[in-house]
Amino acid sequence: MKPQKINWAQGSGSMIIIALITMMTIYLLLLYMTITNIFYAKTVATSRTDLIADSVAVYAQSYDYSFNKSRAEEMRGVLTDYNNTTTDAFTISTTLDFPEPISSNDSIIDRLKISSIVQTVFWYGNTNNYIYTTAESIVDSIDIWKDILVVPDNIGNNEHKPTEDPITPSDEQEDILVVPDKTTQSDDTKVGE
Amino acid sequence: MQLNLKPLREPKINWKRGGAELIGIALAFPLLCAMIIMAVGVMQTGITRQSLEYANYMGARAAVTADNYETARTQAASAVKMTLNDNTFGVDIDNVSVNIDLVAGTTAAGSNSSSNGITWEKGALAKCETVVPYKSLFDFQEHQMKSTLYVMVEKPAKTFK
């Protein structure tokens, strides 16, 4: 019995088409991974910016719709440094601004704005190209006595006023606010250079 | 004009022809399937990564407004799992681990403290960490994905006597 001859020329059409589909799929996958990376950077930027802005505002909140600016700057720096120690996948740098106060109900309301830039690698393992994503968050000041502690009239007791100085930390309390070792970014750092 | 009224004969199919086409498809089909599975696996990883960041953010937000450490842990875990449940696939929600630790603040004797003795109060720094185990469609193995962020505790503030 003679061995059957195979005509390899036949059937090459489907091979070529499938090879094309495979290459197209690989290309789309690479594209998708890059887009995913951009979305990831955006998610990190918005979430971290929002959290830092909220924390800074709460920490720096003073009376009469005003912010304590030095406290705000202190907390911004601490939180930015800490959040940069979590992973090598991104680096975040933040800046703090105080936009023009707004007036509402005969009160001048302070505002603070946290702007952030998140830097991630464009492609996994490639440390030469970066993606930069920006985000901003603005927080208005409140009057911590009028706006938070006011209780409805039917309950009564809506005259909360500070009567004495706040409690100072007692002797046995130990202040251990520590800045982490890895301080990778600050205000003046220009990412990607 | 003369019409051809011959009855149509059924065409004969020569099964031997085109056999190479079948062989070609048979060889390439597994590759194509692998590519599709890989694409879904990459999508799964991307979606899980973004959802994890968002879920951890939601957990942190829920935690910092709690009045004490234990409530913060409970609220964070609930928020993270609820968010992940809505936004991911292939994630075993029951095995998701959510950890809240205080890393900076003041230490004082009391029940409202974390394991390292730092008091849960406004101004303390909390570390929120979520670890998500998921079965990847990429290699059918179980992997873990982690997200960590730091945020300031907002309550309770120091009170006036």
- Amino acid A52: pLDDT: 93
Share of chain A above pLDDT 90, in %: 27
Residues of A in Cβ contact (< 8 Å) with B35: 21-22, 25-26, 29
Under an 8 A CB cutoff, do B57 and A50 touch?
A: yes
> Model confidence at B161, in pLDDT bands (50, 70, 90)?
very low
B25, B123, B149: residue with CB nearest A83: B149
Is A130's pLDDT higher than 90? no
Q: Tell me the shortest Cα–Cα distance from A149 to chain B, in angstroms.
A: 12
Q: What average pLDDT does chain B have?
A: 83
> For residues A121, A125, A129 and A130, what is the CA-based torsion angle, rounded to 10 degrees?
10
Cα dihedral A62, A50, A95, A57 in deg (nearest 10): 0
CB contact under 8 A, A39 and B107: no
B107–A55 CB contact, under 8 Å: no
Q: What is the pTM of this model?
A: 0.75
Region B125-137 average pLDDT: 90
CB contact under 8 A, B32 and A43: no
Task: Name the residue facing B20 among A11, A50, A87 (closest C-beta).
Answer: A11
Is A8–B20 a contact, with Cβ atoms under 8 angstroms apart? yes
- Per the structure block, which two tokens stand in for B66? 């709690």
Query: Span A12-27, mean pLDDT?
Result: 81
Alpha carbons within 13 angstroms on the beta-carbon side of residue B117 total 9
Of A190, A183, A176, A187, the closest CA to residue A81 belongs to A183
Nearest to A133 by CA among A74, A51, A192: A192
Q: Is B144 exposed, middle or buried (0-12, 13-18, 19+ CB in 10 A)?
A: exposed
- Taking only the tens place, the pLDDT of each residue in A65-105 is 888 888 899 999 999 999 999 888 889 999 999 998 888 77
Closest to A22 in 3D by CA, of B36, B43, B22: B36
B57 CB neighbours in chain A (<8 A) are 47, 50-51
pLDDT tens readout for residues A33-62:
888 888 889 999 999 999 999 999 988 888
- B53-75 pLDDT, tens per residue? 999 999 999 999 888 888 999 99
Q: How far apart are CA A187 and CA A77, in angstroms?
A: 8
- Give the C-alpha separation, B19 to B37, whole Å: 27
The Cα–Cα gap between A179 and A39 comes to 30
Residue contact A178–B104, C-beta within 8 A = yes
What one-character DSSP code corresponds to residue A169? P
Per-residue pLDDT band for A168 (boundaries 50, 70, 90) equals very low
- pLDDT over 90 (residue B5): no
The identity of residue B39, as a single letter, is A
Distance, CA of A187 to CA of A21 (rounded, Å) = 48
- Test mutation, B83, B149, B159, B161, chain A, max A CBs within 10 A: B149
- pLDDT over threshold 60, residue B131: yes
Nearest to B107 among A13, A47, A173 (CB): A173
Percent of chain A, pLDDT > 70?
66
Kindly report the length of chain A: 193
**Shortest CB distance from A51 goes to which of B57, B104, B158?**
B57
Q: Are the C-beta atoms of A158 and A151 separated by less than 8 Å?
A: yes
Radius of gyration of chain B (CA): 30
Across the interface, whether the CB atoms of A173 and B158 are under 8 A apart is answered no
The answer to whether A51 contacts B109, with C-beta atoms less than 8 Å apart, is: no
